[in-house]
Structure 1
Protein backbone atom coordinates (compact mmCIF):
# COMPACT_ATOMS: atom_id res chain seq x y z
CA UNK A 1 0.00 0.00 0.00
CA UNK A 2 2.79 2.41 0.98
CA UNK A 3 4.68 1.60 -2.21
CA UNK A 4 1.68 2.26 -4.45
CA UNK A 5 0.89 5.44 -2.52
CA UNK A 6 4.45 6.74 -2.92
CA UNK A 7 4.31 5.86 -6.61
CA UNK A 8 1.10 7.85 -7.07
CA UNK A 9 2.49 10.84 -5.20
CA UNK A 10 5.72 10.70 -7.21
CA UNK A 11 3.79 10.57 -10.48
CA UNK A 12 1.65 13.54 -9.48
CA UNK A 13 4.60 15.66 -8.30
CA UNK A 14 6.65 14.82 -11.40
CA UNK A 15 3.76 15.65 -13.73
CA UNK A 16 3.18 19.04 -12.11
CA UNK A 17 6.92 19.83 -12.00
CA UNK A 18 7.47 18.89 -15.64
CA UNK A 19 4.42 20.91 -16.72
CA UNK A 20 5.91 23.99 -15.03
CA UNK A 21 9.31 23.33 -16.60
CA UNK A 22 7.81 22.75 -20.04
CA UNK A 23 5.80 25.97 -19.79
CA UNK A 24 8.91 28.00 -18.80
CA UNK A 25 11.07 26.63 -21.62
CA UNK A 26 8.65 26.24 -24.54
CA UNK A 27 6.59 29.36 -23.82
CA UNK A 28 9.82 31.28 -23.31
CA UNK A 29 9.52 32.76 -19.84
CA UNK A 30 12.64 35.00 -19.44
CA UNK A 31 15.06 33.32 -17.05
CA UNK A 32 18.29 35.16 -17.92
CA UNK A 33 19.80 37.86 -20.09
CA UNK A 34 22.89 37.18 -22.18
CA UNK A 35 24.30 38.52 -25.47
CA UNK A 36 23.90 35.88 -28.17
CA UNK A 37 24.81 35.65 -31.83
CA UNK A 38 21.94 37.86 -33.05
CA UNK A 39 21.25 40.12 -30.06
CA UNK A 40 20.16 39.75 -26.44
CA UNK A 41 18.63 36.39 -25.55
CA UNK A 42 16.46 35.83 -22.49
CA UNK A 43 15.53 32.16 -22.79
CA UNK A 44 17.27 28.86 -23.65
CA UNK A 45 15.04 28.56 -26.71
CA UNK A 46 16.22 31.93 -28.04
CA UNK A 47 19.88 30.95 -27.56
CA UNK A 48 19.26 27.61 -29.25
CA UNK A 49 17.29 29.14 -32.12
CA UNK A 50 19.83 31.88 -32.79
CA UNK A 51 22.60 29.29 -32.98
CA UNK A 52 20.55 26.97 -35.23
CA UNK A 53 19.78 29.86 -37.59
CA UNK A 54 23.42 30.92 -37.74
CA UNK A 55 24.76 27.40 -38.26
CA UNK A 56 21.94 26.47 -40.71
CA UNK A 57 21.80 22.97 -39.22
CA UNK A 58 18.00 22.80 -39.36
CA UNK A 59 15.57 24.37 -41.84
CA UNK A 60 14.01 27.66 -40.73
CA UNK A 61 10.52 26.18 -40.47
CA UNK A 62 11.70 23.92 -37.61
CA UNK A 63 13.16 26.89 -35.73
CA UNK A 64 9.97 28.87 -36.32
CA UNK A 65 7.88 25.96 -35.05
CA UNK A 66 9.92 25.99 -31.82
CA UNK A 67 9.58 29.76 -31.41
CA UNK A 68 5.91 30.11 -32.29
CA UNK A 69 4.35 28.96 -28.95
CA UNK A 70 6.39 31.57 -27.09
CA UNK A 71 5.55 34.28 -29.61
CA UNK A 72 1.88 33.39 -29.28
CA UNK A 73 2.04 33.54 -25.48
CA UNK A 74 3.82 36.91 -25.55
CA UNK A 75 1.22 38.38 -27.91
CA UNK A 76 -1.64 37.19 -25.69
CA UNK A 77 -0.02 38.45 -22.47
CA UNK A 78 0.79 41.86 -23.96
CA UNK A 79 -2.59 42.08 -25.76
CA UNK A 80 -0.83 42.59 -29.09
CA UNK A 81 -1.55 41.28 -32.55
CA UNK A 82 -0.32 37.74 -33.03
CA UNK A 83 2.73 37.76 -35.28
CA UNK A 84 2.37 35.92 -38.56
CA UNK A 85 4.36 32.73 -38.99
CA UNK A 86 6.19 34.19 -41.99
CA UNK A 87 7.47 37.28 -40.11
CA UNK A 88 8.12 35.45 -36.86
CA UNK A 89 11.90 35.97 -36.85
CA UNK A 90 11.50 39.74 -37.05
CA UNK A 91 9.74 39.67 -33.69
CA UNK A 92 12.86 38.28 -32.05
CA UNK A 93 15.13 40.79 -33.81
CA UNK A 94 17.58 38.06 -34.70
CA UNK A 95 18.80 40.23 -37.55
CA UNK A 96 19.61 43.41 -35.59
CA UNK A 97 23.04 43.00 -34.04
CA UNK A 98 25.56 40.27 -34.63
CA UNK A 99 27.85 38.98 -31.91
CA UNK A 100 31.12 37.48 -33.03
CA UNK A 101 31.54 33.72 -33.20
CA UNK A 102 34.42 34.02 -30.72
CA UNK A 103 31.95 35.37 -28.17
CA UNK A 104 29.81 32.27 -28.65
CA UNK A 105 32.81 30.04 -27.99
CA UNK A 106 33.42 31.84 -24.71
CA UNK A 107 29.91 30.88 -23.62
CA UNK A 108 29.95 27.16 -24.35
CA UNK A 109 28.29 26.33 -21.03
CA UNK A 110 25.38 28.67 -21.79
CA UNK A 111 25.03 27.27 -25.31
CA UNK A 112 25.26 23.63 -24.24
CA UNK A 113 22.95 24.23 -21.28
CA UNK A 114 20.38 25.84 -23.57
CA UNK A 115 20.48 22.89 -25.96
CA UNK A 116 20.02 20.43 -23.08
CA UNK A 117 17.24 22.49 -21.50
CA UNK A 118 15.25 22.64 -24.73
CA UNK A 119 15.99 19.00 -25.53
CA UNK A 120 14.87 17.97 -22.04
CA UNK A 121 11.58 19.83 -22.45
CA UNK A 122 10.87 18.13 -25.78
CA UNK A 123 11.98 14.58 -24.90
CA UNK A 124 10.26 14.92 -21.53
CA UNK A 125 6.91 14.73 -23.30
CA UNK A 126 7.71 11.04 -23.77
CA UNK A 127 9.64 10.45 -20.54
CA UNK A 128 11.08 13.16 -18.28
CA UNK A 129 14.74 12.57 -17.46
CA UNK A 130 17.87 14.22 -16.14
CA UNK A 131 18.61 16.13 -19.33
CA UNK A 132 16.52 19.10 -18.17
CA UNK A 133 18.27 19.27 -14.80
CA UNK A 134 21.74 18.99 -16.33
CA UNK A 135 20.85 21.72 -18.82
CA UNK A 136 19.65 24.18 -16.16
CA UNK A 137 22.65 23.45 -13.92
CA UNK A 138 25.06 23.98 -16.81
CA UNK A 139 23.25 27.19 -17.73
CA UNK A 140 23.47 28.52 -14.17
CA UNK A 141 27.14 27.64 -13.91
CA UNK A 142 27.92 29.35 -17.22
CA UNK A 143 25.92 32.47 -16.36
CA UNK A 144 27.40 32.79 -12.87
CA UNK A 145 30.91 32.35 -14.27
CA UNK A 146 30.24 34.93 -16.96
CA UNK A 147 28.74 37.33 -14.41
CA UNK A 148 31.85 37.06 -12.23
CA UNK A 149 34.04 37.71 -15.26
CA UNK A 150 31.89 40.74 -16.12
CA UNK A 151 32.47 42.20 -12.66
CA UNK A 152 36.18 41.56 -13.15
CA UNK A 153 36.24 43.80 -16.22
CA UNK A 154 35.84 41.35 -19.11
CA UNK A 155 33.88 43.24 -21.78
CA UNK A 156 32.39 40.14 -23.43
CA UNK A 157 30.90 39.01 -20.08
CA UNK A 158 28.94 42.18 -19.28
CA UNK A 159 25.17 42.49 -19.49
CA UNK A 160 24.52 39.01 -18.07
CA UNK A 161 21.74 38.54 -15.51
CA UNK A 162 19.88 35.65 -13.90
CA UNK A 163 16.14 36.17 -13.30
CA UNK A 164 14.14 34.57 -10.44
CA UNK A 165 12.34 32.28 -12.91
CA UNK A 166 15.66 30.45 -13.36
CA UNK A 167 15.36 29.03 -9.84
CA UNK A 168 11.79 27.93 -10.51
CA UNK A 169 13.04 26.13 -13.64
CA UNK A 170 15.79 24.48 -11.58
CA UNK A 171 13.39 23.23 -8.88
CA UNK A 172 10.81 22.01 -11.42
CA UNK A 173 13.54 20.25 -13.44
CA UNK A 174 14.70 18.42 -10.30
CA UNK A 175 11.21 17.37 -9.20
CA UNK A 176 10.38 16.12 -12.69
CA UNK A 177 12.79 13.19 -12.17
CA UNK A 178 10.56 10.40 -10.89
CA UNK A 179 13.26 8.18 -9.35
CA UNK A 180 14.63 10.99 -7.20
CA UNK A 181 11.17 12.11 -6.12
CA UNK A 182 10.25 8.55 -5.11
CA UNK A 183 13.43 8.29 -3.02
CA UNK A 184 12.56 11.53 -1.23
CA UNK A 185 8.98 10.36 -0.56
CA UNK A 186 10.18 6.96 0.71
CA UNK A 187 12.73 8.60 3.02
CA UNK A 188 10.11 10.99 4.37
CA UNK A 189 7.60 8.15 4.82
CA UNK A 190 10.11 5.97 6.69
CA UNK A 191 10.99 8.80 9.05
CA UNK A 192 7.30 9.46 9.65
CA UNK A 193 6.67 5.76 10.41
CA UNK A 194 9.63 5.60 12.80
CA UNK A 195 8.43 8.69 14.65
CA UNK A 196 4.90 7.26 14.86
CA UNK A 197 6.21 3.98 16.32
CA UNK A 198 8.33 5.83 18.88
CA UNK A 199 5.36 7.94 19.88
CA UNK A 200 3.14 4.84 20.32
CA UNK A 201 5.81 3.10 22.42
CA UNK A 202 6.07 6.15 24.70
CA UNK A 203 2.29 6.32 25.10
CA UNK A 204 2.16 2.65 26.09
Structure 2
Protein backbone atom coordinates (compact mmCIF):
# COMPACT_ATOMS: atom_id res chain seq x y z
CA UNK A 1 0.00 0.00 0.00
CA UNK A 2 2.92 2.32 0.77
CA UNK A 3 4.41 1.94 -2.70
CA UNK A 4 1.03 2.58 -4.31
CA UNK A 5 0.56 5.72 -2.23
CA UNK A 6 3.99 6.99 -3.24
CA UNK A 7 3.24 6.33 -6.91
CA UNK A 8 -0.08 8.19 -6.74
CA UNK A 9 1.56 11.06 -4.87
CA UNK A 10 4.39 11.22 -7.42
CA UNK A 11 1.96 11.34 -10.33
CA UNK A 12 -0.22 13.93 -8.63
CA UNK A 13 2.83 16.03 -7.76
CA UNK A 14 4.08 15.86 -11.36
CA UNK A 15 0.77 17.04 -12.83
CA UNK A 16 0.12 19.69 -10.15
CA UNK A 17 3.61 21.20 -10.21
CA UNK A 18 3.52 21.50 -14.03
CA UNK A 19 0.04 22.99 -13.93
CA UNK A 20 1.13 25.54 -11.34
CA UNK A 21 4.22 26.39 -13.38
CA UNK A 22 2.08 27.01 -16.47
CA UNK A 23 -0.35 29.18 -14.49
CA UNK A 24 2.50 31.38 -13.33
CA UNK A 25 4.52 31.37 -16.56
CA UNK A 26 1.60 32.16 -18.86
CA UNK A 27 0.32 34.75 -16.38
CA UNK A 28 -3.22 33.55 -15.82
CA UNK A 29 -4.90 36.47 -13.98
CA UNK A 30 -5.26 35.53 -10.31
CA UNK A 31 -6.06 38.91 -8.76
CA UNK A 32 -6.18 42.64 -9.37
CA UNK A 33 -3.79 44.68 -7.29
CA UNK A 34 -2.36 48.23 -7.59
CA UNK A 35 1.41 48.08 -8.13
CA UNK A 36 4.36 49.94 -9.69
CA UNK A 37 3.16 49.40 -13.27
CA UNK A 38 -0.40 50.44 -12.47
CA UNK A 39 -2.40 47.27 -11.94
CA UNK A 40 -0.91 43.79 -11.52
CA UNK A 41 -2.88 40.60 -12.05
CA UNK A 42 -0.14 37.97 -11.61
CA UNK A 43 2.70 37.22 -9.17
CA UNK A 44 5.23 37.68 -12.00
CA UNK A 45 4.09 41.26 -12.61
CA UNK A 46 4.28 42.13 -8.91
CA UNK A 47 7.72 40.53 -8.47
CA UNK A 48 9.36 41.83 -11.63
CA UNK A 49 8.02 45.36 -11.28
CA UNK A 50 9.72 45.70 -7.89
CA UNK A 51 12.92 43.90 -8.87
CA UNK A 52 13.30 45.89 -12.06
CA UNK A 53 12.53 49.20 -10.36
CA UNK A 54 15.21 48.50 -7.74
CA UNK A 55 17.75 47.44 -10.38
CA UNK A 56 17.95 43.85 -9.14
CA UNK A 57 17.14 42.20 -12.48
CA UNK A 58 18.02 43.52 -15.98
CA UNK A 59 15.48 44.28 -18.67
CA UNK A 60 16.49 41.22 -20.68
CA UNK A 61 15.51 38.86 -17.87
CA UNK A 62 12.23 40.70 -17.36
CA UNK A 63 11.33 40.36 -21.04
CA UNK A 64 12.25 36.65 -21.06
CA UNK A 65 9.94 35.95 -18.12
CA UNK A 66 6.93 37.99 -19.27
CA UNK A 67 7.06 37.12 -22.97
CA UNK A 68 5.31 33.70 -22.70
CA UNK A 69 2.42 35.33 -20.84
CA UNK A 70 2.27 38.19 -23.31
CA UNK A 71 2.01 35.72 -26.21
CA UNK A 72 -0.67 33.68 -24.40
CA UNK A 73 -2.74 36.81 -23.72
CA UNK A 74 -2.45 37.93 -27.34
CA UNK A 75 -3.60 34.54 -28.63
CA UNK A 76 -6.48 34.39 -26.13
CA UNK A 77 -7.67 37.89 -27.05
CA UNK A 78 -7.02 37.29 -30.77
CA UNK A 79 -4.59 40.20 -30.89
CA UNK A 80 -1.27 40.57 -32.63
CA UNK A 81 1.66 38.98 -30.81
CA UNK A 82 3.59 41.82 -29.14
CA UNK A 83 7.11 42.70 -30.17
CA UNK A 84 9.74 41.21 -27.87
CA UNK A 85 11.79 44.41 -27.97
CA UNK A 86 8.83 46.55 -26.86
CA UNK A 87 7.63 44.38 -24.00
CA UNK A 88 8.88 46.72 -21.29
CA UNK A 89 6.93 49.58 -22.83
CA UNK A 90 3.82 47.44 -23.30
CA UNK A 91 3.89 46.35 -19.63
CA UNK A 92 4.68 49.94 -18.50
CA UNK A 93 8.01 48.92 -16.96
CA UNK A 94 9.59 52.04 -18.45
CA UNK A 95 7.03 54.37 -16.88
CA UNK A 96 6.55 53.07 -13.35
CA UNK A 97 4.79 54.84 -10.55
CA UNK A 98 6.87 55.85 -7.58
CA UNK A 99 6.25 53.73 -4.53
CA UNK A 100 6.86 54.77 -0.96
CA UNK A 101 8.32 52.43 1.64
CA UNK A 102 5.12 52.60 3.69
CA UNK A 103 3.08 51.42 0.70
CA UNK A 104 5.36 48.41 0.22
CA UNK A 105 5.21 47.58 3.93
CA UNK A 106 1.42 47.71 3.89
CA UNK A 107 1.40 45.18 1.04
CA UNK A 108 4.28 43.06 2.28
CA UNK A 109 2.29 39.82 2.22
CA UNK A 110 1.41 40.25 -1.45
CA UNK A 111 4.99 41.18 -2.38
CA UNK A 112 6.67 38.35 -0.46
CA UNK A 113 3.97 35.92 -1.56
CA UNK A 114 4.57 36.84 -5.20
CA UNK A 115 8.31 36.23 -4.83
CA UNK A 116 7.68 32.83 -3.25
CA UNK A 117 5.05 31.92 -5.86
CA UNK A 118 7.39 32.59 -8.77
CA UNK A 119 10.32 30.86 -7.05
CA UNK A 120 8.10 27.90 -6.15
CA UNK A 121 6.90 27.53 -9.73
CA UNK A 122 10.50 27.29 -10.98
CA UNK A 123 11.81 25.08 -8.17
CA UNK A 124 8.73 22.84 -8.31
CA UNK A 125 9.86 21.50 -11.69
CA UNK A 126 12.92 19.98 -10.01
CA UNK A 127 11.86 19.21 -6.46
CA UNK A 128 8.74 19.16 -4.33
CA UNK A 129 8.48 22.06 -1.90
CA UNK A 130 6.18 24.39 -0.02
CA UNK A 131 7.24 27.71 -1.56
CA UNK A 132 4.30 27.75 -3.96
CA UNK A 133 1.66 27.06 -1.32
CA UNK A 134 3.10 29.53 1.17
CA UNK A 135 3.30 32.16 -1.56
CA UNK A 136 -0.32 31.73 -2.63
CA UNK A 137 -1.53 31.78 0.97
CA UNK A 138 0.41 34.98 1.67
CA UNK A 139 -1.00 36.65 -1.43
CA UNK A 140 -4.54 35.61 -0.52
CA UNK A 141 -4.18 36.89 3.03
CA UNK A 142 -2.65 40.17 1.87
CA UNK A 143 -5.44 40.78 -0.63
CA UNK A 144 -8.15 39.78 1.85
CA UNK A 145 -6.64 42.18 4.38
CA UNK A 146 -6.86 45.00 1.86
CA UNK A 147 -10.52 44.26 1.16
CA UNK A 148 -11.64 43.58 4.74
CA UNK A 149 -9.75 46.22 6.69
CA UNK A 150 -9.25 48.99 4.15
CA UNK A 151 -12.31 48.49 1.94
CA UNK A 152 -10.15 48.78 -1.16
CA UNK A 153 -12.31 48.54 -4.26
CA UNK A 154 -9.23 48.26 -6.50
CA UNK A 155 -8.30 44.86 -5.03
CA UNK A 156 -10.04 41.77 -6.42
CA UNK A 157 -9.37 38.03 -6.07
CA UNK A 158 -10.37 36.01 -9.14
CA UNK A 159 -11.78 32.45 -8.95
CA UNK A 160 -8.63 31.24 -10.73
CA UNK A 161 -6.81 31.73 -7.41
CA UNK A 162 -8.51 28.53 -6.22
CA UNK A 163 -6.91 26.60 -9.10
CA UNK A 164 -3.50 27.99 -8.15
CA UNK A 165 -4.08 27.13 -4.49
CA UNK A 166 -5.08 23.52 -5.20
CA UNK A 167 -2.25 22.93 -7.67
CA UNK A 168 0.23 24.42 -5.17
CA UNK A 169 -1.06 22.15 -2.39
CA UNK A 170 -0.98 18.97 -4.46
CA UNK A 171 2.54 19.75 -5.64
CA UNK A 172 3.79 18.95 -2.10
CA UNK A 173 4.59 15.26 -2.52
CA UNK A 174 5.16 14.39 1.14
CA UNK A 175 1.86 15.86 2.31
CA UNK A 176 -0.06 14.28 -0.56
CA UNK A 177 1.49 10.88 0.26
CA UNK A 178 0.32 11.18 3.87
CA UNK A 179 -3.14 12.24 2.75
CA UNK A 180 -3.47 9.28 0.36
CA UNK A 181 -2.25 6.84 3.02
CA UNK A 182 -4.70 8.25 5.56
CA UNK A 183 -7.63 8.03 3.14
CA UNK A 184 -6.71 4.43 2.30
CA UNK A 185 -6.45 3.52 5.98
CA UNK A 186 -9.86 5.06 6.65
CA UNK A 187 -11.34 3.18 3.70
CA UNK A 188 -9.79 -0.05 4.96
CA UNK A 189 -11.22 0.52 8.45
CA UNK A 190 -14.67 1.18 7.03
CA UNK A 191 -14.51 -2.01 4.94
CA UNK A 192 -13.50 -4.04 7.98
CA UNK A 193 -16.37 -2.59 9.98
CA UNK A 194 -18.82 -3.42 7.19
CA UNK A 195 -17.50 -6.97 7.02
CA UNK A 196 -17.90 -7.39 10.79
CA UNK A 197 -21.47 -6.10 10.65
CA UNK A 198 -22.21 -8.50 7.77
CA UNK A 199 -20.76 -11.48 9.70
CA UNK A 200 -22.86 -10.62 12.78
CA UNK A 201 -26.02 -10.44 10.68
CA UNK A 202 -25.33 -13.80 9.05
CA UNK A 203 -24.47 -15.32 12.44
CA UNK A 204 -27.88 -14.35 13.73
TM-score, with structure 1 as normaliser: 0.91
1:41-80 mapped onto 2 (5 Å cutoff): 41-80=40-79
- 1:180 paired residue number: 175
- 2:111 paired residue number: 111
Q: Distance in 2 between matches of 1:195 and 1:147?
A: 44
| 1:5 to 1:201, Cα distance in 2 relative to 1, 3 A | same
1:83-98 mapped onto 2 (5 Å cutoff): 83-96=82-95, 98=97
Of residues 175, 196, 200, the one that matches 2:191 is 196
1:110-149 mapped onto 2 (5 Å cutoff): 110-149=110-149
Detail structure 1 runs of 4+ shifted over 6 Å in the superposition: none
Cα offset for 1:65?
Answer: 1.0
TM-score, with structure 2 as normaliser: 0.91
SS in 1 for 2:119: helix
SS in 1 for 2:194: helix
> Is the 1:35–1:99 Cα contact (8 Å) retained in structure 2?
no
> Is the 1:37–1:101 Cα contact (8 Å) retained in structure 2?
no
SS in 1 for 2:33: strand
Structure 2 unaligned blocks of 5 or more:
200-204
1:3-57 superposed Cα distances (whole Å, 9 cap, x missing partner):
1111111111112221221121111001111110121000000001111110011
Structural RMSD (CA): 1.5
